[in-house]
């Protein structure tokens, strides 16, 4: 096969997404959990894909609900709820209470 000539070079497609959009899409499509369950569904670690920081929360802490709401608004709502469903099935059914609390918080935020 003859070598490529100058006019036959492939066009380079530039990615126009922002780093934040890339991080959110990677987190949403990843098999890794966004949250890590801890003792008795009372504590959780939440990994923020935008900053890369890992935060430790009580599941009744208002800052936990704020962070989950912020991440869901960025496009990770389906990922968060699938993580909670996984925790309910594989760890403890008390995670269903956490999921219901988050849903209630979301509804309250929407009504404001």
- Residue 68 lies in domain: 19-111
Measure the CA angle with vertex 84, ends 82 and 86; round to 5°.
70
pLDDT of residue 32: 87
pLDDT one-digit tens code per residue, 71-105: 999 999 999 999 999 999 999 899 999 999 999 99
- 10 Å CB burial of residue 64 (0-12, 13-18, 19+) is buried
Whether 6 maps to a domain, the answer reads no
pLDDT of residue 61: 94
Whether 14 maps to a domain, the answer reads no
Does residue 3 surpass a pLDDT of 80? Answer: no
Whether 90 maps to a domain, the answer reads yes
pLDDT of residue 4: 63
pLDDT grade for 5, boundaries at 50, 70 and 90: low
Whether 28 maps to a domain, the answer reads yes
Whether 5 maps to a domain, the answer reads no
Whether 9 maps to a domain, the answer reads no
Total structural domains within the chain: 1
CA atoms of 68 and 65, how far apart (whole Å): 5
Mean pLDDT, rounded, for 48-68: 92
Place of tokens 């709820």: 81
pTM: 0.80
Whether 7 maps to a domain, the answer reads no
Whether 82 maps to a domain, the answer reads yes
């Amino acid at each position: 096969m003859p070598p490529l000539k100058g006019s036959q070079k492939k066009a380079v497609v530039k990615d126009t997404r922002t780093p934040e959009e890339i991080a959110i899409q990677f987190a949403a499509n990843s098999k890794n959990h966004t949250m890590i369950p801890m003792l008795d569904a009372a504590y959780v670690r939440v990994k923020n894909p935008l900053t890369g920081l890992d935060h430790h929360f009580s599941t009744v802490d208002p800052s936990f609900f704020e962070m989950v709401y912020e991440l869901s608004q960025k496009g990770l709502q389906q990922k968060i709820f699938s993580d909670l469903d996984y925790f309910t099935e594989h760890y403890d059914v008390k995670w269903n209470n956490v999921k219901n609390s988050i849903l209630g918080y979301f509804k309250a935020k929407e009504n404001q």
